Amino acid sequence: MALPAPSAVAPCQNLDRLPRGEDRNIGAGYAMAMAGAGAAVLYFLVQAAVTLLLPFSIGNATPSLFLGFAAVAFLSGAVTVAGLITPVAFVAGITAWRLMPTSVPYTGAVSGLLATLLVYVGPAVIGIGGAIVLAVLTGGVVAEAVVGVAAFAGFAFVATCWITLPLGIVAGTLYERSRSPAE
């Protein structure tokens, strides 16, 4: 297997300076949080570009409409990255590295993939649990609530997996490579 360039591993080499970052699992959480934030920023840049093009595609492109769309796109991206994706990716990284034995070949890549999938599954399970509780308390149909949350989670996966899966695998690989001595 070809080794990554030293400059590619550099962002992961100083994670041990963060609180408890010397612990392999916590350091992996930091690495996955960086990957999650990077993937989210990339996704929202693409979303913002598409959103900014929307007023022009409908033929009513006024400067105020353009700025309104831009503000909504960037604000939704910032709130999502800071409040949801980065913390969930941190916890998913810790969980994935704790679950994955070091004897597994390509531990970093496999753990990075697992952590990325946990970023989708964890909130979906919590959301389904919350939907069930809310449906029971309000007298709603439980099946509709569960299907709604599952559909939302599925859409989130389909909309973002093109960037999150490769970035999670790369981040996991680079993190593990930064922890092992150069060969």
Average pLDDT estimate for 2-19: 58
Enclosing domain of residue 31? 21-179
| Distance from C-alpha of 62 to C-alpha of 107, rounded to nearest angstrom | 52
DSSP symbol at 83: I
Residue 133 has pLDDT above 50, yes or no: yes
pLDDT of residue 183: 43
Residue 57 lies in a domain: yes
DSSP symbol at 81: I
Residue 163 lies in a domain: yes
Residue 16 lies in a domain: no
Minimum mean pLDDT among 26-30, 68-72, 175-179: which range? 68-72
Average pLDDT estimate for 145-173: 90
Residue 49 lies in a domain: yes
Residue 92 has pLDDT above 90, yes or no: yes
Which residue in 14, 12, 3, 13 sits closest to 183, CA to CA?
A: 3
* Number of domains into which the chain is organized: 1
Residue 3 lies in a domain: no
Residue 38 has pLDDT above 60, yes or no: yes
Residue 116 has pLDDT above 90, yes or no: yes
Residue 13 lies in a domain: no
Mean pLDDT (the chain) is: 80
Which residue in 148, 119, 134, 126 sits closest to 32, CA to CA?
A: 119
pLDDT of residue 49: 76
User: Percentage of the chain surpassing pLDDT 70?
Assistant: 74
Residue 2 lies in a domain: no
Task: Give the torsion sign (CA, 18, 23, 26, 28).
Answer: positive
Residue 95 has pLDDT above 90, yes or no: yes
Q: Label residue 7 by pLDDT band (50, 70, 90).
A: low
Residue 10 lies in a domain: no
pLDDT of residue 58: 66
